[in-house]
Structure 1
Amino acid sequence: MAIKIRTKNGDVTVENDVIASVVGGATIANPGVVGMASRSLLKDGVAQVLNRENYGRGVVVFEQAAGLSIDVYIVVQHGMKLADISASVQSRVKYYLNAYLGLSVPEVNVIVQGIATED
């Protein structure tokens, strides 16, 4: 699925991989976020931390009447306050999408897929 944006100079099509890259970059820039997680847990229930090339597997984009809705799947560091991390991710994702792509996103849902402990 791609998002079409109408500008004064014509139409621009933004692919989901581009949106996922921006969302992933915004997400991992938050303190306490270890990385992006796959939206489907592995067989044994362990969250897989994704690398930059696979951010699309940790981001789901829905186009709704009110605008885009984004689901972000993350792995957080042990001992961090989940509510604060989630609020920070939501705010930063909205800001990055607006600043880089000119997209207004009314809804960013953060799903914590796992907690990473230091070994």
Structure 2
Amino acid sequence: MELTNNANDNKGTIKIADEVVSIIAGIAATEVKGVAGMSGGVAGGIVEILGKKNLSKGVKVEVGEKEAAVDLYVIVEYGVRIPEVAWNIQENVKQAIENMTGLEVVEVNIHVQGVNFQHENKEDGRVR
């Protein structure tokens, strides 16, 4: 994606890689309460949860000159209201991308790939 400075003192162009938009979307999605992580897809019937370093792999973006469309592949925590979590993801991702890049986000599609049944105790880090 390339942005051109339209001011009279044109200093050049700004280029934002699609990967950057993907990372912004992945981080914004995982900030939402109820999201266990991003999904790397289904392998052998098991959904792979991506680590923090691979967040953009659970994201597909289409970036034009002024607009972006995003597909997110997520895993949610057991017991959450999935439609509510999905709506919160859409809002958070849209806001993050628009604020950081200036692009208009025309759609954020959520693909729930799995449910995480393991709960990590935030205080001691143990899985229960």
**Partner residue of 2:21?**
19
RMSD: 1.8
Out of 45-54 and 22-31, give the one that drifted further: 45-54
Contact 1:94 1:105 in 2 (8 A): yes
Q: Deviations over 1:70-104 (max 9, x none)?
A: 00010000010110010000000000001111111
**Post-superposition shift, 1:16?**
2.0
For the pair shown, the structure with the greater C-alpha radius of gyration is 2
**Post-superposition shift, 1:106?**
1.1
Distance 1:57 1:32 in 2: 19
Q: Give ranges in structure 1 of 5+ residues lacking alignment.
A: none
Contact 2:18 2:63 in 1 (8 A): no
Query: Could you state the TM-score of these two structures normalised by the residue count of structure 1?
Result: 0.87
Percent identity of equivalent pairs = 26
Query: Could you state the TM-score of these two structures normalised by the residue count of structure 2?
Result: 0.81
**Partner residue of 1:105?**
105
Contact 1:30 1:89 in 2 (8 A): yes
Equivalent of 1:35 in 22, 34, 37: 37
Q: Does residue 1:5 correspond to 2:3, yes or no?
A: yes
Distance 1:64 1:10 in 2: 19
Equivalent pairs, count: 115
Q: Give ranges in structure 2 of 5+ residues lacking alignment.
A: 119-127
Contact 2:32 2:88 in 1 (8 A): yes
Q: Deviations over 1:3-31 (max 9, x none)?
A: 22222343211112211111111001100
